[in-house]
């Protein structure tokens, strides 16, 4: 069915099934526009312009996100009736929770928190995180629990973009914040984990998005995930950069 000529093509693309290469290109276009590599908080970070207090606030709040990733992935595991999918996906839980001998991502993030000079207990208890962090992270867990499995998997596709961001971040952190260098193990591990995970998730989404509506829902899921990441940095910027007003009860960053 052709759309009337006076409706822009962009409003009707949802009506036809995109070929695989175009469908994949669409995810990358969303990332170019909405992934948080563009966020002003990250730009300041990579220019070396954040104070130790601002980096503490970032590490502390982001710990809440990190600590909920295996809950998010367990919720996804719980929704699949395909053992081979679960076998592949459970790797993510192990990556973050560890295997009992080797530390996982959560433990490594705690070491990053400590490298900023905050006690790990503060992160473990969530003391002083801004409520907006909590709301955004809970929105992520709720999203994968209440939307289709296709949307839940598609929401993970921000990992398509994370390798480039992490590579830059580690480089700039070594350069600008050498005192943090001992806390960067988390990122080093993600440089191999994230691309593997993204490759699996992308292939799965491409295979399972069989209608134009499903393709559009997969895109919407990735946009929502980008919103979830972006909102966390907006809240950090507001509280700790400009205007610099932490909400009632939140961590107060020192100036230096």
Q: For a copy of itself, how many residues bind (rule: CB under 8 A)?
A: 30
Q: How far apart are alpha carbons 122 and 231 in whole angstroms? A: 22
> For the purposes of burial, counting CB atoms within 10 Å of the CB of 114, is it exposed (0-12), middle (13-18) or buried (19 or more)?
middle
Stretch that binds a copy of itself, among 54-62, 72-80, 116-124, 138-146 (CB under 8 A): 138-146
Assess 242 for contact with a copy of itself (CB under 8 A): yes
Interaction with a copy of itself in 23-52: which residues (CB under 8 A)? 33-34, 40
Assess 132 for contact with a copy of itself (CB under 8 A): yes
- Pick the binder of a copy of itself from 112, 165, 218, 239 (CB under 8 A): 239
**C-alpha angle 222-231-112 in degrees, rounded to nearest 5:** 95
Assess 139 for contact with a copy of itself (CB under 8 A): yes
Q: How far apart are alpha carbons 16 and 26 in whole angstroms? A: 14
- Pick the binder of a copy of itself from 24, 107, 176, 238 (CB under 8 A): 238
Spell out the alpha helix ranges (H) of the chain.
20-34, 40-46, 52-77, 83-97, 105-116, 120-125, 131-146, 149-154, 159-176, 185-208, 212-240
Give least dist CB 32 to a copy of itself, A.
11
- Pick the binder of a copy of itself from 22, 124, 125, 131 (CB under 8 A): 131
Interface map 191-220 toward a copy of itself (x if CB under 8 A): ------------------------------
Q: How far apart are alpha carbons 96 and 94 in whole angstroms? A: 5
- Pick the binder of a copy of itself from 1, 11, 243, 255 (CB under 8 A): 243
Assess 134 for contact with a copy of itself (CB under 8 A): yes
Measuring CA to CA, which residue among 212, 215, 218 is closest to residue 156?
218
Using alpha carbons only, how large is the chain's radius of gyration in Å? 19
Stretch that binds a copy of itself, among 45-53, 119-127, 174-182, 245-253 (CB under 8 A): 245-253
83-97 and 52-77 helices cross at what angle (nearest 10)? 150
Q: How far apart are alpha carbons 41 and 233 in whole angstroms? A: 6
- Pick the binder of a copy of itself from 142, 175, 181, 211 (CB under 8 A): 142
Q: Which two tokens stand for residue 175?
A: 């350069």
Place of tokens 């491409």: 206
Question: Which residue's CB is nearer to a copy of itself, number 116 or number 158?
Answer: 158
- Pick the binder of a copy of itself from 78, 249, 252, 254 (CB under 8 A): 249
Q: How far apart are alpha carbons 11 and 16 in whole angstroms? A: 11
Question: Which residue's CB is nearer to a copy of itself, number 142 or number 181?
Answer: 142
Q: How far apart are alpha carbons 236 and 54 in whole angstroms? A: 8
Assess 185 for contact with a copy of itself (CB under 8 A): no
What is the binding site for a copy of itself (CB under 8 A)?
33-34, 40, 130-132, 134-136, 138-139, 142, 223-224, 226-228, 230-231, 234-235, 237-239, 242-243, 245, 247-249
């Amino acid at each position: 069915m052709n759309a009337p000529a006076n409706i822009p093509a962009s409003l009707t693309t949802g009506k036809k099934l995109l070929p695989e290469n175009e469908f994949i290109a669409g995810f990358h276009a969303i990332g170019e526009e909405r992934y948080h590599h563009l966020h002003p908080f990250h730009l300041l970070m990579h220019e070396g312009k954040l104070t130790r207090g601002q980096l503490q606030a970032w590490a502390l709040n982001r710990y809440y996100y990190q600590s909920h990733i295996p809950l998010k992935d367990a919720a996804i595991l719980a929704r699949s009736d395909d053992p081979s999918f679960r076998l592949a996906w459970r790797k993510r839980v192990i990556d973050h929770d560890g295997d009992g001998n080797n530390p996982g991502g959560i433990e490594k993030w705690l070491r990053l928190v400590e490298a900023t000079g905050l006690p790990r207990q503060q992160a473990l208890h969530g003391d002083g995180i801004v409520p907006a962090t909590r709301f955004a992270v809970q929105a992520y867990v709720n999203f994968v629990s209440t939307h289709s499995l296709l949307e839940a998997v598609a929401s993970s596709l921000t990992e398509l973009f994370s390798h480039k961001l992490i590579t830059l971040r580690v480089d700039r952190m070594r350069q600008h914040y050498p005192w943090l260098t001992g806390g960067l193990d988390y990122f080093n591990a993600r440089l191999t984990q994230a691309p593997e995970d993204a490759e699996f998730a992308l292939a799965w989404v491409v295979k399972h998005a069989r209608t134009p509506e499903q393709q559009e829902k997969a895109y919407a899921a990735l946009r929502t995930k980008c919103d979830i990441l972006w909102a966390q940095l907006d809240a950090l910027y507001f509280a700790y950069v400009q205007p610099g007003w932490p909400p009632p009860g939140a961590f107060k960053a020192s100036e230096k």
